[in-house]
Chains A and B, each alone.
Chain A
């Protein structure tokens, strides 16, 4: 093998290998992802059997995922119709939440950090929301003030909704998580 050919193989192997590894761990991996309607969870992240891609992703920053017996974090980046969540739109988050000792629903940027808004409300807990007669929750996420449970959004850009269930009976591994058990995210209108 000539030097030129060896250099070609090494450059291709190292370049493509490192670049693909970097790409694979910059975001939460598709491996180990469980989708329930618009919500996604990575249940292995909170156990001993964490998969290498998620482990590498978490090691790149200061992350401490919820433990398997502690709770569950569900992330939504789209509404029920599959469209990306956009701050220029108004969304209704309604329906049931699985049995849990407590839950929080928060809005964050695409990296999971809360927005710095004039009104300091990045989310609700189960003890704070005003419920309807049927006991179900009804939250409206929008830029402009809304009656009832209003979750303020920034003026524009993509965002995420994060539902964290603490000490929950819901188990993703056993397959009892269905979209009907989780809140629906409906797009109402857009500016």
Chain B
């Protein structure tokens, strides 16, 4: 009777071990890169909502007196300066919070170009209007949320459209930014008076 042949497990050669390690490292690197892509996107998307040094936070207290304030007019150094701003433009700001109800913005148009923009907290311009839209020298609109707009529409008399301009903001907080262009250095005082003359308060 012949003895059965002895089967021994073949040990992987050094080359095979190296190949396997390199392959594993490749897969791990691929997983790391995939994770890096996810981390990259999540960071970029979360940055605006986590930012605490943006304009919406820096100028949160402006406009509490019922009119737009210039960031530079308060105690020097108390508020950060606006970056990338046009040196020829006077900027006045009014922070809004619609959780307490709609806000009314009233501006008187002058001879200098003026624009009012609504910047939502976290970035993006919700609305922009220039003084060319002023009626009899007055620019007036109400700023409200979607729900507040629905309520107002329900309160409006049947069949009678409101004559008032209503702007629906998609975020409850943000900034009303008034910019007046001082074309000549001598226009600066007029521009400041126009910009800070913009009223912003509860719509009632």
Contact = CB atoms under 8 A, between A and B. Distances in A.
Of B45, B84, B128, most buried by chain A (CB within 10 Å of CB) is: B84
Interface string B89-118: 101010000000000000000000101010
A167 B54 contact: no
A41 interface: no
Interface of A: 5, 8-18, 20-22, 24-25, 45-50, 52-56, 58-71, 101-102, 104, 106, 108, 111-114, 122-123, 125-128, 162, 164, 166-167
Interface of B: 24, 28-29, 31-40, 42-45, 47-48, 51, 53-55, 58-59, 80-89, 91, 93, 113, 115, 117, 119, 122-130, 132, 170, 175, 177, 179, 181-184
Given A12-B29, A55-B123, A64-B175, A17 B40 contact: yes
B14 to A, nearest CB: 21
A10 B89 CA distance: 48
Contact of A112 (B35, B54, B59, B83): B83
A13 B124 contact: no
A113 B83 contact: yes
Please list the 6 inter-chain residue pairs (A to B) with the smallest Cβ-Cβ separation, ordered nearest first. Answer: A17-B39, A13-B35, A12-B32, A67-B128, A112-B84, A16-B36
8 contacts: A12-B32, A15-B36, A17-B42, A25-B47, A62-B55, A62-B82, A64-B91, A104-B89
A57 B184 CA distance: 32
Contact of A67 (B58, B93, B115): B115
Given A48-B124, A55-B122, A122 B87 contact: yes
A69 B184 contact: no
A104 B128 contact: no
User: Which of A9, A15, A25, A126 counts the most B-chain CB atoms under 10 A from its CB?
Assistant: A9
Contacts of A21: 39-40, 43-44, 47
Contacts of B59: 62
A113 B83 CA distance: 7
Contacts of A71: 115
B172 to A, nearest CB: 15
Given A70-B179, A125-B182, A128-B183, 4 more contacts: A101-B130, A106-B87, A125-B183, A127-B184
Contact of B54 (A13, A47, A59, A122): A59
B53 A69 contact: no
Contacts of B53: 60-62
B86 A164 contact: yes
A114 B83 CA distance: 10
A49 to B, nearest CB: 8
A167 B83 contact: no
A20 B42 CA distance: 12
B36 A17 contact: yes
Given A9-B32, A17-B35, A61-B54, A67 B117 contact: yes
A13 B184 contact: no
A11 B31 CA distance: 11
Given A64-B177, A102-B181, A69 B128 contact: yes
A17 B54 contact: no
Contacts of B80: 62
Nearest to B52: A59
A13 B123 CA distance: 27
Contacts of B89: 104, 164
Nearest to B131: A167
B163 to A, nearest CB: 21
Contacts of A47: 124-125
